[in-house]
Amino acid sequence: MTVCVDCRMIDASGIGVYLRESLPWLLQSDNNFILLGNLRRLQCYSSNANVKIIECYIKPFSLKEYFFFPSKTAQQINSADLYFSPYFNIPKSITIPIFTAIHDIIFADMPELTSKLGLAARMWFYRRAYKKSKKIFTVSEFSKSRIQYHLGTAKPVIVTHSAIQPMFLEYRANPKNVQKTQTIVFVGNIKKHKGLDLLLDAFSLAKKEGLPHRLVVIGSKENFRTSDNTVLQKIESLGSEAVTFTGFISDEQVMEYLSKAALLVQPSLYEGFCLPPLEAMVLGTHALISDIPVLKEIYSGYPVTFFRSADLSDLKVKLTELLIKKIPSSPILPDDLLLKYTFKKTADIILNEIK
């Protein structure tokens, strides 16, 4: 069997990790593969005897992808037996069976995150992918339930969890004399559903009660939009000594920040899976996370601390309890939790479902 894999988003954030880490396990199967994407970026796979690369630089979710996709490229894709995309963008003129991944359906669940026009466009993409896909993959039982709620139950939706990147396990196995610092780490963007606004309020209250820690936001301050003025004002009122942004940093630097932090806080209002708490625990850092359904599902049995979602008072209390009244111990993950989510398992499920 020949499988065409859309690799154009291989360097994206969560989607890129899902694809990048699953791909080597997929390629170890006895199938042939056509990889669609940036030739330079995919060159590392060209030595595989079962791999052929098709150059394609057309932007996902663009008008060209949906209405003017090159017929020659479509013909090359259609020479395969099936098409797999790690996201729900599907180019025009694909006639072979299609398998896609919808990691979450956040805009249907939280329409306030976009305009009416933006919501209509996104729902068109969701529905188109649902209609054209033979099967759909997603990353949690929660996301599966929401996809079925909004799009229907006619198509199989299969859970293929995201997972920890091997580099985090390697970093854990080779500790570099890490010394804990008085830092709280937040990983994520500044979109409303990530909960940074709530964290800033709780952090400000905790500082008034004597919290000595700094808040480190792993991300770039320049990514703030004009509509985020309220959040910016809160950050400025706290001062640069209390809240700092890392800007764009390497994976190695992310691991260093996580391993040195006293605590990771994930105050999300909505997620499809959410890797940072797992990454933090693997590197020996306790995680304080909201009790939204997906995090209760994914982190059931893990040594995390939950706070009531969107509850400022509870978040502040948990912050002070963990960081003023006691220092959270480094979490210990037994093998069953350390290896509960792996990309080998994810790839095995994908391969089994596309047979």
- In 3D, which of 322, 324, 266 has the Cα closest to residue 298? 266
Q: Does 251 or 215 have the greater pLDDT score?
A: 215
Q: Same structural domain for residues 324 and 189? A: yes
How far apart are the C-alpha atoms of 237 and 208, rounded to whole Å? Answer: 13
| Co-location of 151 and 19 in the same domain | yes
pLDDT single digits (tens) 261-295? 999 999 999 999 999 999 999 999 999 999 999 99
- Average pLDDT along the chain: 92
Q: Which domain holds residue 318?
A: 166-338
SS3 of residue 327 by DSSP: coil
CATH code of 102's domain: 3.40.50.2000
193 and 329 together in one domain: yes
61 lies in the same domain as 203: no
Tens of pLDDT, residue by residue over 53-77, are 999 999 999 999 999 999 999 999 9
Check whether 330 has a pLDDT greater than 90. no
The pLDDT assigned to 43 comes to 95
Same domain, 117 and 172: no
Same structural domain, 155 and 181 = no
pLDDT band (50, 70, 90) for residue 246: confident
- Asked whether residue 196 falls in the same domain as residue 282, the answer is yes
Local confidence band at 51 (pLDDT 50, 70, 90 cut-offs): very high
pLDDT of residue 229: 67
Which pLDDT band, with edges at 50, 70 and 90, does 189 fall under? Answer: confident
Do both 285 and 248 map to the same domain?
Answer: yes
Query: Domain check: are 293 and 185 in the same one?
Result: yes
Looking at the structure, tell me whether residues 115 and 186 fall in a common domain.
Answer: no
Domain shared by 288 and 306, yes or no: yes
Question: 257 with 306, same domain?
Answer: yes
For the beta sheet containing 214-218, the strands, ordered from the edge strand earlier in sequence to the opposite edge, are: 243-245, 214-218, 183-187, 263-266, 287-290, 305-307
The predicted pLDDT at position 328 comes to 72
Predicted pLDDT of residue 220: 61
Q: What is the pTM of this model?
A: 0.93
Count of the separate structural domains present in the chain: 2
Q: At what angle do helices 116-132 and 141-151 cross, to 10 degrees?
A: 100
Q: Does the structure show a pLDDT above 80 at 175?
A: no
